[in-house]
């Protein structure tokens, strides 16, 4: 079974990363963290949000964006940004694609977005809302990608049983 991938570009808030990690474990999704991180992975706040699942998480760290690109040559990366013309429900997500989200204070840098305009996606929001929480944004797009790929929670039964979860 192919796996979807969540990529966090320089995440700053440990509780967001913890919650996203927990969502990745629950859905069998890989998590990719592009450094620098705004926290240490052993902080209490990330543990409270999701580190109790961390040992079960398929996670890879990268020293920077270039390292991510070098180690994932040819990957189809959809980049979430408020500036994208395409709504996240208007694209087709491949079963092994990467869904990238930027840091909480500034998103994905413009120079990276300019290189990837054809795969930029956005979540429509009322103009009165500044932005969604990063963990909520990831969940919204991830579940659309899972839905499109006929996600079947029963496929995860063996995955979860392996960790003695019922």
Known binding-site positions for S-adenosyl-L-methionine: 102, 123, 131
Return the C-alpha torsion angle 26, 52, 158, 27, nearest 10: 10
Measured in degrees and rounded to the nearest 5, phi and psi for residue 84 equal -75, 145
CB neighbours (10 Å) of residue 70?
A: 10
Sign of the CA dihedral running 127, 132, 138, 144: negative
Q: Which residues are annotated as a binding site?
A: 102, 123, 131
How far apart, in whole angstroms, are the C-alpha atoms of residue 51 and residue 32?
15
Q: How many residues does the chain have?
A: 166
Q: Could you tell me which residues come within 8 angstroms of residue 69 by beta carbon, excluding any fewer than 6 positions away?
A: none
Check: CB of residue 105 under 8 Å from CB of residue 49: no
């Amino acid at each position: 079974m192919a796996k979807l991938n969540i990529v966090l570009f320089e995440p700053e808030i440990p509780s967001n990363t913890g919650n996203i990690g927990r969502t990745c474990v629950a859905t069998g999704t890989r998590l990719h963290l592009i450094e620098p991180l705004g926290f240490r992975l052993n902080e209490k706040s990330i543990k409270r949000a999701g580190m109790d699942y961390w040992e079960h998480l398929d996670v890879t760290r990268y020293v920077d964006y270039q390292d991510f690109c070098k180690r994932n040559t040819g990957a189809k990366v959809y980049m979430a940004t408020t500036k994208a013309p395409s709504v996240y429900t208007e694209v087709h997500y491949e079963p092994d694609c990467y869904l990238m989200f930027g840091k909480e204070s500034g998103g994905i840098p413009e120079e990276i977005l300019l290189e990837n305009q054809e795969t930029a996606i956005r979540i429509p929001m009322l103009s009165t809302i500044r932005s969604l929480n990063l963990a909520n944004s990831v969940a919204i797009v991830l579940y659309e990608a899972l839905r499109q790929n006929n996600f079947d929670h029963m496929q995860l039964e063996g995955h979860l049983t392996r960790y003695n979860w019922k």
